[in-house]
Amino acid sequence: MSERKTDEVTGVETTGHSWDGIEELNNPLPRWWLWTLYLCIIWAIGYTIAYPAWPMISGATQGVMGWSTRANVAADIATHEDNNAELVSQLVAADVATLPEHPDLNRYAIARGGAVFRANCSQCHGSGAAGAKGYPNLLDDDWLWGGDIDAIMTTVRHGIRNTQDDDARYSEMPAFGEILEPAEIDAVVEHVVSLSHSDFDAALAAQGAVVFADNCASCHGDAGLGMREMGAPNLADAIWLYGGDRETLHKTVEFSRFGVMPPWGPRLKEADIRAVSVYVHSLGGGE
């Protein structure tokens, strides 16, 4: 406990605490400060009545103003949709393939599509659309199922290899581990490597070419250039969805790959599907 003392100069009682010999006068709080404090308390009480504040068992008090951030956002979104209604109806009616001829509509579609992409597609394809292992890079010029805007739109609408949408593009590579011997797989991998690399074992690749012609050429083509109707990748280019080294290729042949994309038709609005297709087409790989 501190000792009560009175300051000699002012005659005011001190708080008794001493800091380096300096003591604090125990003056009352300034009146303006006190009233500001009271006003703040009254304000706070009024505020918690007016706005959502007190946490209860199943939610917070709602406040008498009926204010809610969610309702505000919904109203904002509705306002923007109203403002853009004309552009949206144009976008839904337009032939997306000719969209670049209408700069304003095209710009709107790309902006809207960018937002749709970041909300729905970036989880797999990355925020910059560069994809990842197993998730196609949408910026390059290699398209499994076609890269013109209508092909992109079909992919977005129906998805890939899913069972929810009957119109989804579907194909399946068999797991050749059950069909071929490990040595045959090694040979066919060497042949695939030889299609795009200069550094390979020619004898092994020649064996693999036979295996390839028997087992793989039906989908990937005799020269390994792939087939878009089947979503069969081109094996002679520099782009590998799962990796192009021998080990990964061996795994791919042995177990096969089966990338699935959900159908977005049921989830997105028609304008969103068109917009995101235009956006993806504009990223640099569009054909």
Partner 1 sequence: MTSQPDQPLYAARVPIFPRRVNGFFRRFKWWIMAITLGIYYLTPWLRWDRGASLPDQAVLIDLANRRFYFLWIEIWPHEFYFVAGLLIMAGLGLFLFTSALGRVWCGYTCPQTVWTDLFLLVERWIEGDRNARLRLHKASWSLHKWRLRLTKWVVWLVISVATGGAWVFYFTDAPTLLRDLLSFDAHPVAYTTIAILTATTFIFGGFLREQVCIYMCPWPRIQAAMMDPDTITVAYRDWRGEPRGKGNAKTRKAAEAQEAVVAAQAAGAGAARYAGTPYPGKGTQPATPPALDTVSDKGDCIDCMACVNVCPMGIDIRNGQQMECITCALCIDACDDVMARIGKPRGLIDYLALSDEPAERAGAAPKPLWRHILRPRTILYTAMWLLVGVGLLYALFIRSDIELTVSPVRNPTFVVLSDGNVRNIYDVRLRNKAGEARTFRLSLTSDDLLQIGLEGRETLSVTVPADSTVLQRVYVTARADDPAAQEDTTALRLWVEDVSAQIRASKATTFNGRGTK
Binding positions for partner 1, rule: CB under 8 A? 100, 106, 126-128, 130, 137, 139-142, 234, 237-239, 282, 284
CB of 56 to partner 1, least distance (A): 39
User: CB-wise, 44 or 238, nearer to partner 1?
Assistant: 238
User: CB-wise, 69 or 198, nearer to partner 1?
Assistant: 198
CB of 131 to partner 1, least distance (A): 9
Length of the chain: 287
CB of 184 to partner 1, least distance (A): 28
User: CB-wise, 147 or 263, nearer to partner 1?
Assistant: 147
CB of 200 to partner 1, least distance (A): 16
Q: How far is CA 222 from CA 146, 181, 217, 226, 236, in A?
A: 20, 21, 5, 9, 11
Alpha-carbon distance 165 to 144, whole Å?
19
CB of 101 to partner 1, least distance (A): 10
User: CB-wise, 88 or 129, nearer to partner 1?
Assistant: 129
CB of 108 to partner 1, least distance (A): 14
User: CB-wise, 124 or 130, nearer to partner 1?
Assistant: 130
User: CB-wise, 118 or 251, nearer to partner 1?
Assistant: 118
Q: How far is CA 37 from CA 27, 32, 43, 45, 48, in A?
A: 17, 9, 10, 12, 17
